[in-house]
Amino acid sequence: MEEEVDIALNNQKLFIKTLGIVCSGHDNQTNMGADGVCQELLEISRSAGFQMSEIRDVKVLHPFPHYYLGKGKVEEIKVFLQKNPDIRGVIIDTEISPSQQKNLEKAFNIKVYTKIALIHRIFAARARSSEGKIKVAVASLQYELSRLSGRGVEMSRLGGGIGTRGPGEQKIETERRRIKQKIAQLKRELVKVNRRREVQKSLRIKKNLPIVAIVGYTNAGKSTLLNSLTNAHAYVEDRLFATLDPTARKAFLPGIGSVVFTDTVGFIREMPETLIDAFRATLDEINDADCLLEVLDASDPSYPEHHKVINRILQNMAISCRPKIIVFNKIDMVEPVPVISRDWFDDYPVVMVSAEKKIGIENLIEMIGKLLRNNRESLNITVSYQNLPQIEKEIYQHGYIENIEYRIDGMVEVHCSISREATGRIRQLDFSS
């Protein structure tokens, strides 16, 4: 079964038939509604290479210690699975304990997957850069480490021989030490990879270019929006977490000059803490942004809950508030286009777009320009003709030349817009002689 799942993750045409179980009525309540929760579990399973044959909403007011589900419900599902032998897996949307998972697998006689375990699998399949692969591997090992103690009797047997601390060491202790050693090794590799990213980041900061970070719920269309804004070719796929590796692209905005747009990993409800920690360094780059674009899927009725999830994660990561635009994407899939009250989104400006069809993109660019201009200052500089190339080079590192006027006395009037941080430096330069 494990081998088949790995094949399914890498070849989306191969799906393993599964039964989905949504547990409601306990502390996993959400404002998304039953349909929204079921749809999200369906998307997660599809992205992980599973075909959901049926989803059952199971009321669990008080989780039972042995199965999490009630014994009667377990028997009911067991009978259903016996009548449908083509179903070869069960996906439960709640994070159950390792012992509960083992008990359910024994009762159903098939593999049981939790939603969080599937998200880890999807991340492992989607990561493309060396940094992304290492981060996902660390997250998966930390998740595995947290669940060792409940894996049953086989992990409590005494071990012996080479590599253990003696015949009295339990197998669980050996496995825990192995995982910790692997995590330490991967983190050492990650330090080397992060040095390269920090160099790239410092170069962007040195050039003093405005940074616009794109954040949002997974599969809301962030990468497609990045492509539309920058005419780039970032990877796009109709799958959850299609893009994990941060992507930075430069574009020219009228009145602003060069702007760096960065795409970030998508969020999801109950996103595993191990994955948040793994991508914290990447997401912390949002703190360097001059403006945020929060992308919401206008065609998904659960967008209010998605908005809450996005902001909850950002707050938990202590990412400070900054100018933000709420971008409703995929309006070409909605008829009529919804009327959104700004009061719902803390008075942040709201813009409707279709990133794929490039509808409303010009309006969005204009709105971004207005926000970024709050940190710009207009300057008029007089330089000699021979020094014009030097001042042009200096200005374009910090902003944008709006107009150049050539005077009959050989001097040149340069009208520019640059970042407030660079105005002092530009004023001190003497290019008049």
**171 assigned ligand-binding residue:** no
> Cα separation of 118 and 406, whole Å?
64
What per-residue confidence (pLDDT) applies to 149? 64
Give the phi and the psi of residue 334 in degrees, each rounded to 5. -125, 130
**219 assigned ligand-binding residue:** yes
Give the phi and the psi of residue 52 in degrees, each rounded to 5. -80, 115
What per-residue confidence (pLDDT) applies to 358? 92
**244 assigned ligand-binding residue:** yes
**346 assigned ligand-binding residue:** no
What per-residue confidence (pLDDT) applies to 402? 84
State the number of CA atoms in the 13 A half-sphere of 175 facing the CB. Answer: 18
Q: DSSP strand E in 164-280: where?
A: 169-170, 211-216, 247-253, 257-263
What per-residue confidence (pLDDT) applies to 2? 45
> Cα separation of 329 and 356, whole Å?
9
Residues forming a β-bridge with 418: 377, 399
**266 assigned ligand-binding residue:** yes
What per-residue confidence (pLDDT) applies to 8? 45
**208 assigned ligand-binding residue:** no
> Taking the chain (433 residues) in consecutive chunks of 10 residues, what is each chunk's mean pLDDT?
44 67 64 74 84 86 89 93 92 88 92 88 76 82 78 51 50 84 87 68 63 88 90 58 68 82 80 71 72 91 86 77 88 82 76 93 92 83 87 80 88 85 75 60
**217 assigned ligand-binding residue:** yes
> Cα separation of 319 and 305, whole Å?
19
> What pTM value is reported for the model?
0.71
What per-residue confidence (pLDDT) applies to 203? 55
**403 assigned ligand-binding residue:** no
**132 assigned ligand-binding residue:** no
Closest by CA to 150, choosing from 81, 83, 68, is 68
What per-residue confidence (pLDDT) applies to 279? 66
What per-residue confidence (pLDDT) applies to 91? 92
**160 assigned ligand-binding residue:** no
Alpha carbon of residue 275 to chain centroid: 10
What per-residue confidence (pLDDT) applies to 262? 86
**251 assigned ligand-binding residue:** no
> Cα separation of 242 and 219, whole Å?
7
**243 assigned ligand-binding residue:** yes
Contact in structure between 110 and 90 (CB atoms under 8 Å): yes
**140 assigned ligand-binding residue:** no
Contact in structure between 112 and 150 (CB atoms under 8 Å): no
**221 assigned ligand-binding residue:** yes
What per-residue confidence (pLDDT) applies to 242? 53
